[in-house]
Amino acid sequence: MPAGGVCLKNFFKEVDMRKERRRERGRHKRVQYFFIETAKALFDAGNGKSKHLDMQESFEKNKNREVEAIYSYSTYSTYKEVMGKFGDFLHEEYGINYEKDFRKLSTDQLFECIDHYFEVQKNDEGLAKKTLQKHVAAIKKVIGAIVPEIKSHFNADNRMRWTNGTEKQDCDRYNRPDVIIENLHRINQVAEAIAQLQRLTGARIGDVKKIKIDEENNRVIIERSKGGRDRSVYFDYFKEDLEKVKQYKEVLDKALEQKSFSEIRKNEYYSALKLACKKAGEPYHGSHAFRYEWAQNTYEVIKELPRVEQAEFYIRILEERGKSTKDIIEALDDVRKKDAICEAIISEELGHSRLDISREYLKLKGK
C-alpha cells in the first residue's frame, strides 16, 4: 500500500476518472456541442411560455414579430440536429473545432461559412426546399443568439438563394448514372473520379478524400466519417470494383497535390456534375444520389447470399468494429428476428446507427 494508505486500485481508478472528466469537458467545448447547448438554452427560455404573447410583445417594442426562444420540443429536436450537422461542417471544412475557434470568426467570415454550408447542402446532398428552410431557420435562431449581427445576412435574397433546393423526389438515385459518368469523363476527369469513388464506396462527398485502401482485407476504410465514426466498405464480392477504386483514387490524389479538395468540389465537381446531368436529360439532385445507388446495388448482391454467409459477413463487420461478443450476439439476434441481416450489413457499411435510415436508402418498408 502506498504512502498515506491509499489503495493502488482505487488510486488508478481515480486517475482514470479524472481523465474521463477532462475528456468530457473537452468534448463539451467542441463547437457542435456549443451550438446544441445554445439551442437547449433557447428551448429552456421558451418551454411552457406562449409564443403568441411573446410575438405580440416583440411587435409592441420592436415593430416586428421576431422572438428569441424556441417553444416546442419538436422544433428544438430539429434545430439540435441541424446545429450538430453545422458544427460537423465547420470542423470538416474549416478546421473549427471549439467554441473559442468559432468566436474568432468575423461576421463576414461567419457569413461565408454559412453561405458555403447551404451550397454544400444543395449540391452535395440535394436537400429539398422544405428541409433547407428548416436549416435556415435553425441557423438564424441559434447562431443569431450567439452573434446577433449575423441576422442581417438572413435577408430575403439570401434566404431564397439558400433554399433553392430540389423538390422531394420518389427516387433518390439517378436513372442513368452511367450516362452521367460518360459525360463527366468528357467534361472533367477529376470530377469523374470523385463521382466514381462515391458510386463504388457509397462515400459521402466529404469522405471521398479520406478513402484508404486495405488490400489485405479487401476493404476500403474511411476514418472519422459523419459523427466521428469510422467506416469500412468490403469488396469480397466486388473485387473488380476495388481495382477501380485504386485507379480513381490515384486520379484524385494527383489532383489534390495541386488544389484542396474543397476547391475542387466547389469550383469543379458540382458544376461538372450539373452539366453532366443536363446533357443526360436527368434532373440534378446532388452527389448524394451516388450513395443511394451504391446502397441499392450492393444490397441486390448481398441479399442473394445464403443466410449463413450473410450472418458470417455481418459478424465479421461487427468484430472489426471492435464490438464485444455479447454485443455481436445481441445485434445478430435482433436482425434475425427482423429478417434484416442483409439490411444491417448495408447499414453498417453506410455508417448508419439506425436501420430505418438505411431502409430509406434501400426504398424498403420497415419490418
Domain boundaries, the chain: 11-162, 177-288, 303-362
CA–chain centroid gap for 185, Å, is 27
222 by DSSP, 3-state: which?
strand
DSSP 251-287: HHHHHHTTS-HHHHIIIIIHHHHHHHHHHHT-----T
Residue labelled with grid coordinates 469510422:
230
Segment 112-135 shows an average pLDDT of 85
- Give the pLDDT score at 63: 66
Pairwise pLDDT comparison (74 vs 280), residue with the higher score: 280
Q: How confident is the model at residue 10 (pLDDT cuts 50, 70, 90)?
A: low
Q: Which one is predicted more confidently, 153 or 2?
A: 153
Q: What is residue 20's predicted lDDT score, i.e. its pLDDT?
A: 46
Cell of 127: 436537400
More reliable by pLDDT, 26 or 185: 185
Given the C-alpha cell 464480392, which residue does it identify? 237
CA distance 361 to 291: 8
pLDDT, residue 365, reads: 45
- Mean pLDDT, range 91-100, rounded to an integer: 90
pLDDT score, position 19: 47
Which pTM does this prediction carry? 0.65
Q: What is the pLDDT of residues 326-340, one digit of tens each?
A: 999 999 999 999 899
Q: What is the pLDDT of residues 37-85, one digit of tens each?
A: 999 999 999 888 887 787 787 667 766 667 788 998 989 999 999 999 9
C-alpha cell at position 335: 436482425
